[in-house]
Structure 1
Amino acid sequence: MVQLDNGGEERRVRLRRLDDCLTILEQAHELDLTLVTAGMAEALSERVPTIREGMVIADAIEEVLRQQEPYMIQVRPEVTRRVRRRRDPFDVRLLLQRR
């Protein structure tokens, strides 16, 4: 099995966090929302500070994808695939109820 250095592990963690941001934005888009809400912006701002309330969701998704690019280039494929246990799935409707 290939051992990752701390930098490799940090990149993987960052990618996973950005993936979580994409999940929130994609769920909102599927619910036909067009703008980032205050709750969404608050939840995402720590990981992607350029996402703001009132931003078009499609633009926010593009911003997350841009943030992912440098990490995608540096991550090498694993020899064996490990399955990451996910937390309970995030439901964007919980954020929308806080309005």
Structure 2
Amino acid sequence: MLRFCMHYGIHFLVPIGIGLYFYRKNWFWAVLILLAGILIDLDHLLASPIFDSARCSIGYHPLHTYWAFMFYLGLLFFQKTRIVGLALCIHIVADTADCILM
């Protein structure tokens, strides 16, 4: 239960909190972009089986590799891509926490 709450709390509550706190002027669009970071889970469709509760996403799926994470970190350095990079990094943190709690 802790693993479930931690994983989905980071996926949903953290982006909402960051959007509301740091992007007050455009909070709706910021929260929407930050929540859209979950779309990198589409790479799970390439795996067989698509969902395996005993599998760690980090390092297994193409958009969850260490190289992809380095790219997501790079997005943080540019103002135009910062919020997208933040959304993707939050997603990776959520999945890393999930792997640690396995």
* TM-score when normalising by structure 2: 0.32
The structure that is helix-richer by fraction is: 2
Q: Please identify the structure whose Cα radius of gyration is greater.
A: 1
